[in-house]
């Protein structure tokens, strides 16, 4: 069978894939190089191939990415069906079949998992909020903003940088206060404003959380390059 590709729809599908993030690394799967290929036939049948840095990457995060990619591509206009294939992973078959059947994580890994992955995703979104707090606050601190001033700042009073909009978006996803009048510094678990005396420790925690995520991302991208020397798509 010859597959003819609808490049316009394929390009739209790729844009949709750019909205899918590795929940742990908090980066789009496209920039991470996880999308090996994305094609859409003239009949609207999309086939996406994903790849990960190692054979043993955590199956829970892998499942989330495959499922999110499936949802994102299925929602693209003129895509009539989507198949997302995770390659070269110890749980490829289970994940691919589970996502294709819309079975959910627990049913896909029958007997090996007892909970869906919503809590896990939220846990990592909270880490992303902490890391984002460091990204936004570090330049402010460098410019001389004191802990007391930071504590009093609202989201609307902070310069609108890409880091700021990213932080606001993550807070929205978690259901944390995210309008202009919301405090800049909040506890990512409760949404409560951070007390002034707790600001230095909060910033330290934000910094180490960001260091952890970025170091992890750097190891994952290094491993991916060792495993797949070619560039990914997106």
Please identify, among the stretches 8-16, 155-163, 174-182, 206-214, the one whose residues bind other proteins according to the rule CB under 8 A: 206-214
Cβ distance 134 to 205 under 8 Å? no
Helices 59-74 & 118-142 angle (0-180, nearest 10): 90
Regarding 105 and contact with other proteins (CB under 8 A), the answer is yes
Q: Which two tokens stand for residue 10?
A: 């394929």
CA 138 to chain centre: 22
Regarding 106 and contact with other proteins (CB under 8 A), the answer is yes
x-or-dash string of contact with other proteins, 44-83, rule CB under 8 A: ---------xxxx-xxx-----------------------
Regarding 149 and contact with other proteins (CB under 8 A), the answer is no
Which of residues 75 and 107 has its CB atom nearest to other proteins in the complex?
107
Sole residue written with tokens 């929940």: 23
Of residues 25, 30, 18, the one with CA closest to residue 131: 25
Regarding 223 and contact with other proteins (CB under 8 A), the answer is yes
Regarding 112 and contact with other proteins (CB under 8 A), the answer is yes
Strand partners for 83: 47
Helix (H, G, I), strand (E, B) or coil at 212: helix
Residues that bind other proteins (CB under 8 A): 24, 53-56, 58-60, 90, 105-106, 109, 112-117, 120, 123, 127, 130, 204-205, 207-209, 211-216, 218-219, 222-223, 225-227
């Amino acid at each position: 069978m010859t597959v003819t590709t609808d490049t316009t729809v394929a390009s739209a599908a790729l844009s949709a894939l750019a909205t899918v993030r590795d929940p742990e690394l908090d980066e789009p799967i496209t920039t991470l190089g996880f999308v090996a290929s994305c094609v859409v036939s003239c009949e609207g049948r999309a086939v996406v191939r994903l790849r990960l840095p190692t054979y043993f990457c955590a199956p829970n995060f892998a499942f989330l990415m495959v499922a999110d990619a499936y949802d994102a591509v299925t929602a693209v206009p003129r895509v009539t069906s989507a198949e997302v294939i995770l390659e070269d992973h110890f749980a490829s078959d289970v994940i691919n079949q589970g996502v294709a059947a819309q079975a959910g994580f627990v049913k896909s890994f029958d007997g090996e998992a007892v909970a869906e992955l919503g809590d896990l995703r939220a846990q990592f979104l909270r880490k992303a909020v902490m890391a984002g707090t460091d990204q936004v606050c570090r330049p402010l601190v460098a410019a001389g903003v004191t802990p007391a001033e930071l504590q009093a700042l609202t989201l609307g009073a902070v310069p609108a940088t890409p880091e700021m909009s990213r932080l606001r978006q993550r807070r929205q996803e978690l259901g944390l206060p995210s309008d202009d009048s919301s405090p800049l510094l909040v506890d990512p678990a409760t949404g409560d404003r951070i007390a002034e005396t707790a600001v230095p420790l909060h910033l330290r925690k934000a910094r180490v959380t960001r260091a952890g995520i970025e170091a992890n991302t750097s190891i994952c991208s290094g491993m991916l390059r060792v495993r797949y020397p070619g560039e990914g798509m997106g």
